[in-house]
Structure 1
């Protein structure tokens, strides 16, 4: 058995501040993404620009600086915190003499490494193919592109590009067809839960907010949970028995969101995220210990809107309060938090230590009983809404 460990590729991280409020000056999230993908960040460099340079994204002067730093530090790859166009990526690689990748490809690589289910692998493959289809000019840059006879352009390289485009187009079509079948299977499973009158809860939130840890604590499951980005990619659903309500709720743990999540992945993961769209309740898990949690909440809200789940009732769970210093501990564990003029129920808890979990179960039991009361016949004395909650 070969026990030799794989040496992580040293990578130089680059971020460009275009004046947007969410710019990560420390490139902490890009660093986490790189480590999750198996790379070794060795240094970071940032700069400010009003707009991207059309050719090199950062301009020739900054590109020279990046090249010098990469040579001095022994970097073998350069990672950009923003998405690069195919032309910018190709030009940067020629200028730097190193492989250049962007945030989008990094996320795709992580998804490809982490997908376990048949559906997850299909979704990642679709997103990867869609991304690759725009990069063919780079992939085939080594092929000949000489001018032909009078009035003719191109050469064998152009023919290969057209062939590859057609092959990728056919692969995208096949993968989409297979995903449609998976989506139908999921719809059948959801209809079965509906026939059982199940109350459906979906955990959503920014990646590494602690959704899987909370999921495991609630339903006594063993879903993979780790202090890293995108620990969970495949939706897992389990039943949660609520003794106070005398009923079970169906709880689903979904893939985490992240800033600038590639649109191809949002489209490709539509089947998985459909669990959130069809839920009776969304539990939005927030990392209360992260100082950037307002921006992370906004990103989750944007993705929920994009998939059509922004109208689903939502609770906010501010997780990881065990990581908060004493002076930032909440004075009350239950209150309301205003989001875009709407007051949402909020609960502070720690999925890791269990603090606040019993309160969350009680809240869920009450919500399920309310739903049962609304669905029950008016003559059933157990569900008298006028006397609900009275002794």
Structure 2
């Protein structure tokens, strides 16, 4: 079913790539599409790019298929920080309102909410809980619904968490959390940078107000790209934070200064669109994400993880495992030796993994083969302290 070829992913010529939770390699069609667009701009400037001006519309349509929503609910952004900033700074908070988040969130989903303290809003952080089957010590692990229930009050307006924690790989049960928020009229904002493209994400079915994801991880896109979903009723709540020509209905009628921003998510695409990047991300989605249902992708990733677990030396690498809805595409390990050093040593052998906050992270994607997994396990098991 899965086309795990070198033609689609030339990175295979360099070695085994198990760091899709960091910056993924782009598939060959994305590189080809972006190269063609750059070449056309090189030769003819604006006229060379005119044929690509519909690329963002195609990207929105592709992203809408992935999230099972309408393209009008999608915006093309540069990264998660940009979108989270527009949400947090545009939200109609009042003095004494509360935001709930997790104490070890990635900065893109922390600082924009922390900034709201200047508006008299209270940021309440869920404590870290040891929810894995291994003792994670002082390393970040995850948060519990019991703490959410305990900390929510009638002044809680937003819960802002990552679908998957970038450190341990703990995944939130978004279906459960979304139902909880719906019962209480709380807006659920999700950073899906570490899940979209690997796990199912269904904002409309799960009552998620906003989903933000970077394009260069599980979506195989170039850096400087991101996707931003907003539910229509939530979008209406947000004040405008960043504005420019492209967010207005009149578009390139630049001397028409009538204030009429788009009602769709296009209002968040406030300035000149990075067309070349949109072309590449749309090609990545079309060639490497949309051909496979999210459930099938998750099942394949978990199968590859199980193959890693079956062969890895448990005396050297202690896995941090979560069950059920809390499992994700990130398989984190507590190592006998420094994980940063292991990452460097593995790269010298052509095996690319990542290290964060005391964990060694292995993140295969559907494009990873069994032979590549076996090669990576062999290299990792053979590394000795320098």
More relative contact order in 1 or in 2 (CA 8 Å, sep 6+)?
2
Question: Which structure has greater strand proportion?
Answer: 1
TM-score, structure 2 as length reference: 0.27
Q: Bigger radius of gyration, 1 or 2? A: 1
